[in-house]
Amino acid sequence: MRYVATVYVRLKPGYSDPEGETTARALRGLGYSVVEVRASKAYDVTLEAETRREAEAAVDEMCRRLLTNPTKDDYRFEIREER
């Protein structure tokens, strides 16, 4: 079966986010009342797996091994069957 996982990666609280800070400054410069911006990434991963549980386990392992830095990143993902 083919699955599509969307993986969301963001910095853990307490880590500086230069991209978010720069974006917040720029938005304030444009006149918006922005308090904070936190940058994040999203990956769409299409994979083959026998079951949804197997797909979830594979995506979780991908996150831990490559897509995130567990020291500074939090992640979550959503999986759907590709039809």
pLDDT at 63: 98
Specify the pTM: 0.88
What domains are there in the chain, each with its CATH number? 2-81 (3.30.1280.10)
Helices (H), the chain: 18-29, 52-62
pLDDT tens profile 46-59:
999 999 999 999 99
pLDDT at 78: 99
Q: Which residue in this structure is represented by tokens 């897509």? A: 67
Phi, psi dihedral angles at 3 (to 5 degrees): -125, 155
Q: What does the alpha-carbon distance between residue 68 and residue 80 come to, in Å, rounded to a whole number?
A: 21
Paired tokens of 23: 């974006």
Segments of the chain scoring below 50 in pLDDT? none
Q: How far is CA 51 from CA 1, 7, 80, in A?
A: 7, 18, 11
pLDDT at 83: 82
